[in-house]
């Protein structure tokens, strides 16, 4: 019998079989939010009189390890790096047992290093603990870390303990213990022995467990022994003031009269629409000249306001700028929602060539009171009699600084926007906040930030009872 075949039919079948061989994962389903689980551990936890040299963890799913140098640490530190290897569902951390000290409690911390390979869910566990002696050290030290310049808790710092019986300088020594602060800027050392320690906090950006130039750090002067020190420790991070070369800046001389250039007076006020409220109630009118005047005739300008359709002269002051001889300002007690007319008569200013400024008229309208916010600040009595200063920031820039010789302050005609409040103790009475200096054993000046900023709105009145920010 003769057999025949259809080559097109075979081709279709092959294509069909190939398509069937491509397995596509099903779409949809709930996202995996569960971290890996521990299935087995190579050695048991809490061993006494032991000198292990590695620990292996077997997980229930495929894992990855992130930032092992930063996250996986031995405390107290050892004179050798930790070796981390992981494959599939297993991670192994090893170290030479020859570097382990006698009668010492060790804690191996995994931090946030172990994650599942798909969704990055973090496996978290208590430290693996063992002791090379016959007992576990059980003393503790705890505290919080703050940014001294901001008055805010710092959640990025690392805290180091140095063995004071052995180390002489925290700048050259390796920390004996180290830990990270939590999301409330709190830290805790556990399993400590009754030794004397120096304590330091550092914004350790490069994770080298050292204080590098430009990094913020904090210290306390006293030596700490956890056997006797039971209260919480507060560490205030600061950056030391860098030494700046005394390069004298030569001020640019003011523009002199030039016969080829006109003598111009610029007045910064919007006169394009008389119905539009443009002039602020809390500032004057700014003037800028094209060259330095040698003569100012303060009688050669007038400011009048509309009062029942009659223009009434207003008391006004022309002020020069001590830092800029080309700059002047016109100040008065502005009335809200009123039309004004500013008349600059010829010869208000005269330059060295004898040229007189030209005459000009400017018509404009002031803003209303409800275009502004009002602020009342109540300061606790505890800040009096300690050379304290109140700083008010508008849009994150210093707007006003006041000495705290009273407990109540009121401000009207505030521009809408963000306001925040700081009090600092001006210990050296130089009118500014000063940072610390480790070599001089000088702590940064104390500073407190109000617990919240405000977003001021037009026509609103705000009452602030100053309350220092708390991380509790």
Domains defined for the chain, CATH in brackets: 38-131 (2.60.40.1220), 139-237 (2.60.40.10), 265-369 (2.60.40.3710), 373-465 (2.60.40)
- Res 130: pLDDT: 97
Task: State the average pLDDT over residues 64-68.
Answer: 93
Give the least confident one: 142-151, 237-246, 303-312: 237-246
pLDDT at site 13: 42
> What's residue 93's pLDDT?
97
The pLDDT of residue 11 is 46
pLDDT, mean of residues 64-73: 92
Torsion angle, alpha carbons of 355, 356, 359, 365, to 10: 120
Residue 339, CA distances (Å) to 23, 50, 269, 323 in order: 80, 89, 13, 32
Return phi, psi of residue 469, to 5°.
-60, 140
Is residue 30 packed enough to be buried (19+ CB in 10 Å), middle (13-18) or exposed (0-12)?
A: exposed
What is the overall mean pLDDT for the chain?
90
C-alpha of 232 from chain center: 24
What separation in angstroms does the CA of 457 have from each of 410, 416, 460, 468, 471? Answer: 16, 5, 6, 23, 28
Using alpha carbons, select from 168, 166, 235 the residue that is nearest to residue 199.
235
Instruction: Tell me the average pLDDT across 449-459.
Output: 96
- Rg of the chain over Cα atoms, rounded to whole angstroms, equals 36
The neighbouring-strand residues paired with 420 are 393
Average of per-residue pLDDT across 79-108: 95
Contacts of 70 (CB under 8 A, 6+ apart): 111, 207
In DSSP terms, which residues pair with 67 in a beta bridge?
none
Q: Is the pLDDT of residue 262 over 60?
A: yes
Using an 8 Å Cβ cutoff, are 157 and 178 in contact? no
Can you give the pLDDT at residue 26?
A: 52
Distance CA 36, CA 58 (A): 10
Residue 6 is predicted with a pLDDT of: 47
Q: Is the pLDDT of residue 403 over 50?
A: yes
**What is the model's pLDDT at position 19?**
44
Choose the weakest-confidence range: 5-9, 219-223, 333-337. 5-9
Predicted confidence at residue 254, as pLDDT, reads: 67
Longest pairwise C-alpha distance within the chain: 129
pLDDT of residue 206: 85
Query: Does residue 58 contact residue 99 with C-beta atoms inside 8 Å?
Result: no
Instruction: Please answer whether residues 282 and 374 qualify as being in contact, where contact means their C-beta atoms are separated by less than 8 angstroms.
Output: no
Res 235: pLDDT: 97
pLDDT for residue 252: 59
Q: How far apart are CA 69 and CA 82, in angstroms?
A: 8
* pLDDT above 60: residue 106: yes
Instruction: State mean pLDDT over 92-101.
Output: 96
> How far is the C-alpha of 248 from the C-alpha of 450, rounded, in Å?
38
- Count other Cβ atoms within 10 Å, centred on residue 158: 20
pLDDT score for 173:
82
Tokens matching residue 123: 């496996």
Q: Would the pLDDT of 357 be above 90?
A: yes
- Is residue 348 within 8 A of residue 297, CB to CB? The reply is yes
207 pLDDT band (50/70/90 cuts)? confident
- Higher model confidence: residue 5 or residue 456? 456
pLDDT value at 7 more than 50: no
Per-residue pLDDT at 144: 97
CA dihedral 415, 417, 418, 422 (to 10 degrees): 0
Rounded mean pLDDT of 266-287? 94
pLDDT tens figures, 148-193: 999 999 999 999 999 877 656 777 788 999 998 999 999 999 999 9
Q: In whole angstroms, give the CA distance from residue 367 to residue 415.
A: 11
> Tokens in use for 1?
């019998």
For residue 412, what pLDDT band results from cuts at 50, 70 and 90?
A: very high
What is the pLDDT at residue 2? 42
- Phi and psi dihedrals of 204, rounded to 5? -80, 80
| Residue 205 confidence (pLDDT) | 85
State mean pLDDT over 354-380. 96
């Amino acid at each position: 019998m003769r057999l025949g075949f259809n080559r097109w039919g075979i081709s279709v079948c092959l294509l069909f079989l190939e398509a069937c061989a491509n397995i596509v994962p099903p779409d949809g389903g709930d996202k995996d939010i569960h971290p890996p689980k521990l299935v087995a551990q190579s050695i048991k936890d809490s061993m006494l009189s032991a000198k292990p040299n590695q620990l292996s963890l077997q997980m229930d799913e495929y894992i990855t390890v992130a930032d092992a140098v930063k996250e996986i640490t031995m405390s107290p530190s050892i004179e050798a790096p930790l070796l981390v290897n992981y494959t599939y569902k297993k991670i192994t951390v090893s170290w030479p047992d020859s570097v382990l000290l006698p009668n010492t409690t060790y804690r191996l911390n995994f931090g946030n290093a172990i994650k599942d390979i798909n969704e990055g869910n973090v496996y978290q566990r208590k430290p693996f603990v063992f002791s090379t002696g016959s007992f576990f050290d059980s003393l503790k030290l705890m505290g919080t870390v703050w940014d001294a310049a901001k008055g805010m808790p710092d959640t990025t710092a690392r805290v180091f303990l140095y063995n004071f019986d052995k180390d002489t300088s925290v700048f050259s020594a390796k920390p004996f213990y180290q830990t990270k602060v939590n999301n409330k800027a709190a830290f805790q050392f556990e399993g400590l022995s009754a030794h004397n320690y120096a304590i330091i906090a550092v914004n350790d950006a490069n994770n080298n467990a050292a204080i590098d130039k430009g990094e913020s750090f904090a210290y306390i002067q006293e030596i700490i022994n956890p056997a006797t020190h039971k209260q919480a420790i507060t560490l205030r991070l600061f950056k030391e003031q860098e030494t700046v070369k005394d390069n004298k800046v030569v001020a640019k001389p003011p523009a002199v009269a030039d016969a080829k250039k006109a003598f111009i007076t610029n007045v910064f006020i919007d006169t394009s629409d008389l119905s539009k409220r443009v002039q602020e109630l809390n500032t004057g009118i700014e003037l800028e000249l094209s060259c330095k005047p040698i003569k100012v005739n303060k009688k050669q300008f007038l400011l009048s306001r509309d009062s029942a359709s009659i223009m009434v002269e207003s008391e006004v002051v022309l002020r020069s700028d001590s830092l800029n001889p080309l700059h002047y300002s016109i100040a008065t007690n502005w009335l809200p929602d009123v039309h004004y007319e500013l008349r600059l008569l010829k010869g208000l200013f005269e330059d060295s060539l004898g040229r007189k400024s030209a005459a000009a008229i400017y018509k404009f309208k002031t803003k209303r009171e409800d275009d502004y916010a009002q602020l009342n600040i109540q300061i606790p009595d505890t800040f009096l009699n300690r050379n304290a200063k109140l700083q008010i920031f508008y849009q994150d820039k210093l707007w006003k600084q006041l000495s705290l010789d009273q407990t109540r302050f009121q401000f009207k005609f505030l521009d809408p926007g963000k306001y925040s409040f700081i009090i600092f103790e001006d210990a050296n009475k130089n009118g500014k906040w000063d940072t610390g200096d480790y070599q001089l054993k000088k702590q940064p000046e104390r500073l407190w930030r109000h617990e919240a900023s405000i977003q001021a709105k037009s026509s609103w009145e705000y009452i602030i009872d100053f309350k220092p920010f708390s991380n509790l």
